[in-house]
Amino acid sequence: MSISETYFPAEPKGPEVKTAIPGPKSNAKLAELASVYDTKAAYFVTDYYNSLGNYICDADGNKLLDSYCQISSIALGYNNPALLKMAHSDEMAVALCNRPALACFPSTDYYEILKEGLLSVAPKGLDKVCTAHTGSDANEMAFKAALMYQANKKRGGKPFTEEELTSVMENQLPGTSDMVILSFEKAFHGRLFGSLSTTRSKAIHKLDIPAFDWPKAPFPTLKYPLEKYEAENKAEEERCLKELETTIVNYPSKIAAVIIEPVQSEGGDNHASPAFFQGIRAITKKHDVLMIIDEVQTGGGGSGKMWLHQHYDVTPDIMTFSKKMQNAGFFFSEEGLAGDQPFRQFNTWCGDPSKALIAKAIIGQIKEKDLLKNAAETGDYLYSKLASIGDKNSKMLNLRGKGRGFFIAFDLPTPAERNQLLGECKKLGLNIGGCGDQGVRLRPALVFGKKHADILADIVGKAFENL
Amino acid sequence: MSISETYFPAEPKGPEVKTAIPGPKSNAKLAELASVYDTKAAYFVTDYYNSLGNYICDADGNKLLDSYCQISSIALGYNNPALLKMAHSDEMAVALCNRPALACFPSTDYYEILKEGLLSVAPKGLDKVCTAHTGSDANEMAFKAALMYQANKKRGGKPFTEEELTSVMENQLPGTSDMVILSFEKAFHGRLFGSLSTTRSKAIHKLDIPAFDWPKAPFPTLKYPLEKYEAENKAEEERCLKELETTIVNYPSKIAAVIIEPVQSEGGDNHASPAFFQGIRAITKKHDVLMIIDEVQTGGGGSGKMWLHQHYDVTPDIMTFSKKMQNAGFFFSEEGLAGDQPFRQFNTWCGDPSKALIAKAIIGQIKEKDLLKNAAETGDYLYSKLASIGDKNSKMLNLRGKGRGFFIAFDLPTPAERNQLLGECKKLGLNIGGCGDQGVRLRPALVFGKKHADILADIVGKAFENL
């Protein structure tokens, strides 16, 4: 019995498409919702009650195989019975009805929930956690941790000066900081004001919003197939590392931290080699800059490892997470990254026990059903099938993500053809996401099996033929 | 039968304090938690299973009357049966297990949930909602809405220029924006990078974090009792309004929006008159500046009205909320505040249906049990009792919040005495919060009745005597 059959005996055998998508019921509901809520980005209205496993059901009863999964945020498929059990539990009800201000009034069971849940999958070396609310929020809390840590180090244990205490109330130096966070070209780290200043994926994310003038470094543009362009890719990565180091050394103020995604996701599923990430770790250590790895989209097991950077043999100072974990936050080890005084790294909720319980249940299932192995093996199987399509169709470019589980992507020659392909797939019953200008990314749940891979490949193949 | 008796027949008759607070079990659990999670701001470990109604129970079994309520975030008391029922419902389980990317794949029932819940208490004139995740996040989304709206207006419908599209990727003008958000001295609007730039309550919130150089205006410092200082207070408010208008008129770049709390909460429970808020509305309209009212802490019924600014007869352009609603976001009316294109005001989750369901259940109870009336009446009763204590004790200063339900506060002569009073209250079985440098704020749940007010006043009276 496949993993999806153990969870979802009633899962559809294949996509069922009865109407255009969005269909008449979706459109009617969107019109209603649009009177009170922004729907300009909506694809269709979703019936979450009748979505099951790897199939998302829309308001018209169309059932699509889902390889996008709420922008990479569904770990165990729709209406997973193990999650439903947790959702119906007494501990969940108590967590939902009595949401604590966790930093002031932590709950008697928060330690156990963290220990059995999130901390049980903490990457090696990062044994503490700070919980947050969304990926953007987790990244900004990580920035604050890094900035305060570096400022304390510079201050050398001395108390704040009178000048710092007064100037900060005017948003001026020296109380506020001219230290910065460096990010990479094409990166995506969120859309709040600090995180958006490190996001460099698309103009539309950033236009008209004030930004900090923070520095960037180039992210390598690899050529595919990797085997063919080994030397060129190595040179490209070395160029990027060199430019990173030059920026760090010459920057007029201190770079507190570098933030990087293990695979740049929104920006186009841009991969780099383990050596590149190891190079960043060496440079950041050498120059006393912290390294933050943003696993918001890449984390949670889709790569065949719990965190994608575990493919690289690198230990960052901070690793952020959200999405598939359903609970956001960051892991760290250095005591000083928790702040040197109370109420500095602080907010009302500091997380949410109801989400920590969901994370614990998801992690429990990942272990119980060895879903990392499924992602690794099914991912390899899927990659091979897509490679065969690519062999026959010259419009599939830069197939990538081999050995990275489900973290597979490919490009089309133009943004228009990419969008056309996404539309064709939807018509054929596959919900699939784009990324960057002309990329297609796969982000199925961890319960996606070989039979789903067959259907996906079949539809993608047909969609390419229809282009 | 009192409201709390209808919900909580087993609610304690009074505080039960058996150990020092934190007691030995709290301390042991804090030590354990501190090995993986920052506990520097913790008061005690809380047993949410055994907390009930207006009483918070700690790990040692101490039961404190709670007038702080998770920093103003518990609307219906602990373990309210109506909320527990919602928490155990099927719709909650489906919402928890299938968290949608709401802007792309909204759920079939989201319109009804919003309509019966949050939108049913939208302030007059603001009939649309944008859902978010926390108060800080709601405020930053409101800032982005205002900034994009003003930029679009300035651009006059023209498309983005090539220069805007390229410069924004470098975090430079003209693609990024030099428009600003104005806030008031002593304001608190959150701790993310944009919201923290508008927060001006305490240095410790802001030190070492980069900030936007955004402008401020003075918030009036009123003298109490109000009856005695009517003329002086009027002059003070006029001075502040004048300075606000001068700043707006002379500011070198455009002020997109002004953000203000109806009562400055973290900054010390600073009140101003309806005329002051009406003055801001007139000035912002005159100069084409948007007005954002931040009801994160003040909203949700504690003032005797659903939103505190409804005491002022003012309609802002945007009103933000979170905390007691358990669901964050902002209300607005102007279509353009939802963004002119898809994916501009956007993030993965754009809210959380599980929180929207909790908000709906809370709002349902507020209506069913007329909890606004309870807050207004019990608040008046409590105010009188505290005024009697103040008459007898010269260390109670600036009692304020008359006619504002539970939104009552007072000062002590020094921060040390304030902290001493908070400690005395805790020893006597009352969990109570400070604000500003020497303020004490009341933030009970909406189910706080006259018998609780009697106990609170009794303890506060004794604590003053013990100073």
- C-alpha distance from residue B164 to each of A248, B214, B377 (Å): 27, 22, 55
Strands (E) located in A278-407: 290-294, 318-321, 328-332, 397-400
Determine whether the interchain pair A78/B97 forms a contact, defined as Cβ–Cβ distance below 8 Å. yes
pLDDT at position B208: 97
Q: How far is CA B331 from CA A347, A428, B122, in A?
A: 22, 39, 7
Confidence class of residue B1 from pLDDT cuts 50, 70 and 90? confident
pLDDT by position in tens, chain A (length 467): 899 999 999 999 999 999 999 999 999 999 999 999 999 999 999 999 999 999 999 999 999 999 999 999 999 999 999 999 999 999 999 999 999 999 999 999 999 999 999 999 999 999 999 999 999 999 999 999 999 999 999 999 899 999 999 999 999 999 999 999 999 999 999 999 999 999 999 999 999 999 999 999 999 999 999 999 999 999 999 999 999 999 999 999 999 999 999 999 999 999 999 999 999 999 999 999 999 999 999 999 999 999 999 999 999 999 999 999 999 999 999 988 998 899 999 999 999 999 999 999 999 999 999 999 999 999 999 999 999 999 999 999 999 999 999 999 999 999 999 999 999 999 999 999 999 999 999 999 999 999 999 999 999 999 999 99
Lookup: tokens for B279: 């003055």
- Residues in chain A with CB shorter than 8 Å from the CB of B32 are 111
- Residues of A with catalytic annotation? 188, 294, 323, 348
Residue of B8, B44, B184, B188 marked active site: B188
Q: Determine the Cα–Cα distance for residues A24 and A30; give it in Å rounded to an integer.
A: 10
**Contact yes or no for A446/A52 (Cβ under 8 A):** no
Q: Which amino acid does the sequence have at B448?
A: F
Residues composing chain B: 467
Of B290, B298, B353, B354, whose CA–CA distance to B322 is shortest?
B298
Of A36, A195, A345, the CB nearest to B128: A36
Alpha-helical (H) ranges within B62-192 are: 69-72, 81-87, 90-97, 110-116, 135-155, 162-167
Q: Which residues of A touch B39 (CB under 8 A)?
A: 103, 106
- Structure tokens given for A344: 């500095």
Tell me which residue in B140, B209, B322 faces A147 most closely, judged by beta carbons: B209
Average pLDDT, chain B: 97
Judged by CB atoms closer than 8 Å, whether chains meet at A204 and B341 is answered as yes
Q: Which of A40, A57, A105 to mutate to test the interface with B (most CBs of B within 10 A)?
A: A105
Residue A196: C-alpha distances to residues A212, A280, A316, B204 (Å) = 9, 22, 21, 24
Question: Number of H helices and number of E strands within chain A?
Answer: 15, 14
pLDDT at residue A157, as a whole number: 83
The model's pLDDT over B281-322, given as tens digits with 9 standing for 90+, comes to 999 999 999 999 999 999 999 999 999 999 999 999 999 999
Please classify residue A373 by burial: count the beta carbons closer than 10 Å to its beta carbon, then call 0-12 exposed, 13-18 middle and 19+ buried: middle
- In the block, residue with structure tokens 């009178």: A162
Nearest to B43 among A32, A104, A200 (CB): A104
In chain A, residues with a C-beta closer than 8 Å to the C-beta of B193 are 140, 143, 192-195, 197, 212
Rounded to the nearest angstrom, the minimum Cα separation between A240 and chain B is 17
CA distance A463 to chain B (A): 22
- List Cα–Cα distances, A368 to A361, A373, B220, B241, in angstroms: 10, 11, 60, 63
Q: Do domains B1-66 and B372-440+457-467 have the same CATH topology?
A: yes
Tell me how long chain A is: 467
Q: Whose CA is closest to B73, among B316, B437, B358?
A: B358
Q: Does domain B1-66 have CATH number 3.40.47.10?
A: no
Pick the catalytic residue from B176, B246, B348, B414: B348
Q: Which two tokens stand for residue A269?
A: 């599923």
Partners of residue A197 in chain B, C-beta under 8 Å: 171, 193
Annotated domain spans of chain B = 1-66, 91-367, 372-440+457-467
Q: How confident is the model at residue B260 (pLDDT cuts 50, 70, 90)?
A: very high
CA distance B77 to B91: 22
Angstrom CA distances, B118 to A30, B329, B330, B365, B412, stand at 18, 10, 10, 13, 37
Check pLDDT > 90 for residue B157.
no
CA B149 to chain centroid, in Å, comes to 25
The 10s digit of each residue's pLDDT in B420-443 is 999 999 999 999 999 999 999 999
Q: Which strand (E) or helix (H) includes residue B232?
A: helix B230-250
DSSP 8-state symbol, B23: -
List of chain B residues whose C-beta atoms are within 8 Å of the C-beta of residue A35: 128
Chain B residue with minimum CA distance to A194: B193
pLDDT at B168: 98
Res B340 pLDDT > 90? no
Annotation marks residue B323 as catalytic: yes
Q: What percent of chain B has pLDDT over 70?
A: 100
**pLDDT value, residue A399:** 98
Q: How many CB atoms lie within 10 A of CB B269?
A: 27
CB–CB of A133 and B133 under 8 A?
yes
Per CATH, which fold does B91-367 belong to?
Aspartate Aminotransferase; domain 2 (3.40.640)
Query: Does B41 contact A93 at a Cβ distance shorter than 8 Å?
Result: no
What was the pLDDT predicted at A429?
Answer: 98
Topology at the third CATH level for domain B372-440+457-467: Aspartate Aminotransferase, domain 1 (3.90.1150)
The pLDDT, as a whole number, for residue A339 is 84
B118 phi/psi in degrees, rounded to 5: -50, -45
Class of domain A3-79+370-466: alpha beta
* Cis upstream peptide for A262 (omega within 30°): no
Q: A177, A147 in Cβ contact below 8 A?
A: yes
Q: Is the peptide bond before B100 cis (omega within 30 degrees of 0)?
A: no
From residue A200, alpha-carbon distances to A69, A218, B165 in Å are: 24, 11, 12
Residue A105: per-residue pLDDT: 98
| Strands across the sheet containing B409-411 | B397-400, B409-411, B439-441, B433-435
Distance CA B104, CA A70 (A): 8
Q: How far apart are CA A175 and CA A179, in angstroms?
A: 12
Domain A100-351 sits in CATH 3.40.640.10: yes
The H-or-E segment that residue A383 falls in is helix A371-392
pLDDT of A340 reads 87
CA distance to A132, A147, A285, A422, per residue, from A291 (Å) = 19, 12, 8, 35
